[in-house]
Structure 1
């Protein structure tokens, strides 16, 4: 029997990769989308980059929390689809399962619409309040124009996310990657055309980047919707009539989504505070912190893809009454994460100059100190990224149990009660500066990962015991 374990792991890894790989690549393509905007802003000058970067920070914070509100949709749909599949296999009525999927899709679009409208209004209000928040008046004025252009794009952005969760929950996410990659190219072209007023289009300058991004979100939503409508499995279940949304289902999605949105916001805030701490040690320390943080963010997209795939598969296996398979999913996801992070760690250890070169130039005046600091940090993040990946997988696994509140509570403990004090003690009290801050981050993420995975084990055992009488019957 032990000799079968590697074969089981290989089989489970392939099943997980079928869903995870398109999601990972989609996440990386989305990073390329925001990177394109940042590069275009930089071409317009330092003030434009500062203003545009400020607008993107505000937009991303609201977008991330809006995405959190609809993230549980994939889990609910996966479970409903599995129940319909199980009913069909037993020659019983599977229509109820299909109707449940339709209800969830409508409710998700209603939640996305509400979140998009509220977020757009908040974006405009924050833009008007930037000077009150201590920002330079000239920068704040330019950032406000970008926010006005980005605000309409939040609605189709969240619509896209709702349909994305639908396709992922139905285990048919293949179109996501092609659409996201195409959106990067379209975004770059529209940015250039609207900034400079090429081909008879108005010359909008910096706000043109916001208009281009909003347009791309709308086109991406339409492309994904049309792709789903051409899919014979997805088309009958895809209903966008929010006026027919079931209120109880909407309330359920909001109940599950609010802790996820809060978790996303908490994590973003945790890393923002540590950036401020790094900045207190000087510009070289902040530059090194920023470069390394971007590396972590890029590699983190692997964690996001694995987390979503594991989460969807847990929901599906539990709906099919297979808790043992749900238990294996945790081990498979962590094994895949460990394999990827080990490769990344080897690259960090053997090619530090190459890894840091896109962000810092060791030969440039003033960058040599930042490169030295960043090189030290690479050895920390080589270990940190495994725990960062593990904690994100843990959040996804709990989401598969429909337990989003525990994930939020545990991340508050790990980030704010353990990680932040550890970063302060090691960075300031122990005198390790930026290195100490990242060691504190490592401690916080490791604590969070251990607590989340432990909670998943407890929750899964409880679900298994609850399902035993049903299985016996």
Structure 2
């Protein structure tokens, strides 16, 4: 068992570490945009924030459509490694076919999302927003819309490199994109070096440009990789309709899950706002902390998911079961350290967000951190559970279970704690904890049950 745990930990870390760091770098990327908007003024920050929320909602759901690609690539690559020489060519063509299909799905989603973004921008005036804010937000949406297509192309190739267990270039490219994005923001906002002064719109143009450059950088990196290059095909016209349909069938529940989760947390933000500015400020600050730490869960979940797909393709069901335990143990270790910091040093943790805020907001946020110290265990576990089920190609169960956990349990619990029980914002977060805990238990139980069912019919393990 110790040998198995060590092997699984190394396999998980090989994928998880660069993925976690990449996720954290992406947070820094979006934070840069927010800081730049704030420097322009309150109206620009409001308009830019509105545009970014719309863009991120469509981007997140588009990413969900291609998230299963990494699992499909991992399984196909594992089969290719163990194929006979006669069937090696067909196994490699399977990987190329998945890559082509993923880019086709990304293209369709990118075009549809960009059109929808523009249409939503035209309708913003109907939502009762300030006219000046709407005009600025609409212009920024027009600048952001073209960036959705290369953004999803990047995600498709990212899933390809992760599925092939060669994600190292992702981190370097994402870190470089932070510097490029900051530089382009400044140049396009202020119109230096002879370029037009675009103001807030310049941030949208910079973001779209960075997505295009990131896609090109990742593509070039993959083409220079001797193992990846022969399998990387951009010929979308040759995409197999059946493969495209399979990826869409797996991706739609993932996209819906991402959208549902975003809606759940957005609704709790509105609830927190009903208790006043101090409560909303505290909720926002702690929510941002949770979001940052959540990137660790995303990396672990994705790495565990890819490894499950690989082990099952090789017929190693017991190893797939061990991956769950390893991922949860790694998550628990990280969350314990973070939780101890929350409990012992709340003032230091909250200082970047509420240092100049009201004492009331700081007091509320300190209490929320106590809840968060436990909540993040379940938040991480439920994200890992979704990834594990994705490794089984079971994305529908993940969606159904998250609907139960978020909306049937979490939301009523949050309403009960906040209003009838009079716990206000703390009650909301206790409801979040309850919903996430329910979701985590159901997802992990579903995974264990599914593996037990497979054990009876699993093929003999591939030779070492």
Task: Select between 454-463 and 315-324 the one with higher mean Cα deviation.
Answer: 454-463
Deviations 1:116-169 (A, max 9, x none): 000000111111111112211111110001100000000000000000000000
Query: Tell me, what secondary structure is at the counterpart of 1:198?
Result: coil
Seen in structure 2, the aligned counterparts of structure 1 residues 300 and 327 have a Cα distance that, compared at 3 Å, is same
Deviations 1:4-28 (A, max 9, x none): x344323321220111000000000
Name the count of aligned residue pairs.
463
Tell me what 1:23 maps to. 19
Distance in 1, matches of 2:265 and 2:338, equals 21
Instruction: Choose the corresponding residue for 1:439, options 413, 430, 442.
Output: 430
Q: How does 1:156-305 map to 2 (within 5 A)?
A: 156-305=150-299
Tell me what 1:45 maps to. 41
Query: Tell me, what secondary structure is at the counterpart of 1:239?
Result: coil
* Residue 465 (structure 1) shift: 2.0
Q: How does 1:261-410 map to 2 (within 5 A)?
A: 261-361=255-355, 364=356, 367-410=358-401
Distance in 1, matches of 2:87 and 2:242, equals 23
Seen in structure 2, the aligned counterparts of structure 1 residues 331 and 204 have a Cα distance that, compared at 3 Å, is same
CA contact (8 A) 2:314 2:461 kept: no
Tell me what 1:152 maps to. 146
Q: Which structure 1 segments of 5+ residues have no match?
A: none
Distance in 2, matches of 1:154 and 1:232, equals 29
Distance in 1, matches of 2:195 and 2:460, equals 67
Distance in 2, matches of 1:468 and 1:201, equals 62
Q: CA RMSD in A?
A: 1.2
Distance in 2, matches of 1:25 and 1:199, equals 33
Tell me what 1:76 maps to. 72
Distance in 2, matches of 1:467 and 1:12, equals 20
Deviations 1:335-381 (A, max 9, x none): 000000000001111111111011102xx4x5110000000000101
Q: Which portions of structure 1, spanning 4 or more consecutive aligned residues, are displaced by more than 4 angstroms?
A: 468-471
TM-score, with structure 2 as normaliser: 0.98
Distance in 2, matches of 1:421 and 1:184, equals 40
Q: Do structure 1's residue 58 and structure 2's residue 49 form an aligned pair?
A: no
Q: How does 1:425-436 map to 2 (within 5 A)?
A: 425-436=416-427
Distance in 2, matches of 1:184 and 1:460, equals 41
Query: Tell me, what secondary structure is at the counterpart of 1:199?
Result: coil
Distance in 1, matches of 2:453 and 2:141, equals 46
Distance in 2, matches of 1:32 and 1:142, equals 24
Distance in 2, matches of 1:320 and 1:98, equals 16
Tell me what 2:133 maps to. 139
Deviations 1:388-436 (A, max 9, x none): 0000000000000000000000000000000000000011110000000
* Residue 92 (structure 1) shift: 4.9
Distance in 2, matches of 1:128 and 1:55, equals 12
Distance in 2, matches of 1:75 and 1:125, equals 33
